[in-house]
Amino acid sequence: MNATTDSIAHSADAALDTTLDTTPDATLAAVLPAPTFDQLGLLPELLRAITDAGYTTPTPIQIQAIPIIMSGKDVMGGAQTGTGKTAGFTLPLLQRLARYASSSPSPARHPVRALILAPTRELAMQVHQSVVTYSKHLPLRSVCIYGGVDIRPQIAELREGREIVVATPGRLLDHVQQKSVSFNAVEVLVLDEADRMLDMGFIPDIKRILAMLPKERQSLLFS
Ligand code: AMP
């Protein structure tokens, strides 16, 4: 973690509880059999989605991150793309939101509960695809928000109610200005590729967004 990431973490009021260490530990690996997804305590709906995706065993970062995130702790993790990081935070996040799953059409029953910020449209779309894949057996709704496209369909989706918002910072702030999104019920914040967001000059945007979120929340930061 660099100094800037550190300042964002602190400005988020997030005393991060846990730093993930994905360094392989030969001794531990030799003694302990890797747990299965089932043993990580995931809900049957999530286990079905994992099986549908064709995954048989959790990756090291998933083994580390899933129980900690499920317990509600803040996490800071350094993990490359390709390590299974996205499922590592998406699965426990969905597990935490599962108690709100509702088939009601009323927007009031689907306030934004989780906000996932990513630096680019491509990344936001990838993360959103993971959310869709892993939440397919749960009545939780999600939306992907990014710039460079007509804002109106995004406004329409937000007005219908979405528990999970995956967004790039700039367009999310456009929605704040349009009053099409409310953060009152946000319980989990994820900053994905946080280092890249800082490199791309998103600090002021991120600080503005963080200032609008409830102080009482879980914060997950990946770089
Ligand atoms: P990520 O590091 O999150 O970008 O994930 C990289 C790729 O690994 C994605 O295509 C995932 O679908 C896949 N993946 C994630 N978790 C697992 C797993 N436990 N077993 C097999 N593939 C996985």
Supply the pLDDT for residue 180: 97
Supply the pLDDT for residue 27: 62
- Those residues whose C-beta lies under 8 Å from the C-beta of residue 43, and which sit 6 or more positions away, are 95, 98, 138
Compute the distance from residue 89 Cα to the ligand 1 centre, in Å.
Answer: 12
Question: What residue's CA is closest to ligand 1, atom 18?
Answer: 55
Compute the distance from residue 84 Cα to the ligand 1 centre, in Å.
Answer: 4
Supply the pLDDT for residue 21: 63
Model pLDDT for residues 144-182, shown as the tens digit of each residue: 999 999 999 999 999 999 999 999 999 999 999 999 999
11 — pLDDT class (breaks 50, 70, 90): very low
CA dist 24 and 60 (Å) reads 8
Compute the distance from residue 101 Cα to the ligand 1 centre, in Å.
Answer: 25
Query: Taking the model in full, what pTM does it have?
Result: 0.90
CA dist 71 and 38 (Å) reads 16
Compute the distance from residue 59 Cα to the ligand 1 centre, in Å.
Answer: 8
SS3 126: helix
Compute the distance from residue 72 Cα to the ligand 1 centre, in Å.
Answer: 23
Best probe residue, ligand 1, of 51, 57, 86, 192 (max atoms within 8 Å of C-beta): 86
Q: CA of 164: how far to CAs of 16, 135, 157, 192, in Å? A: 22, 10, 11, 14
Ligand 1, CB cutoff 6 Å, lining residues: 55, 58-59, 62, 81-87
2 — pLDDT class (breaks 50, 70, 90): very low
Supply the pLDDT for residue 77: 87
Angle between helices 3-11 and 203-212 (to 10 degrees): 20
Q: Which ligand 1 atom lies nearest to the CA of residue 85?
A: 3
Q: DSSP labels for 170-188?
A: HHHHHHHHHT----TT--E
Q: Which ligand 1 atom lies nearest to the CA of residue 83?
A: 2
pLDDT reading at 8 higher than 50: no
Degrees (nearest 5) of the Cα angle 68, 72, 73? 60
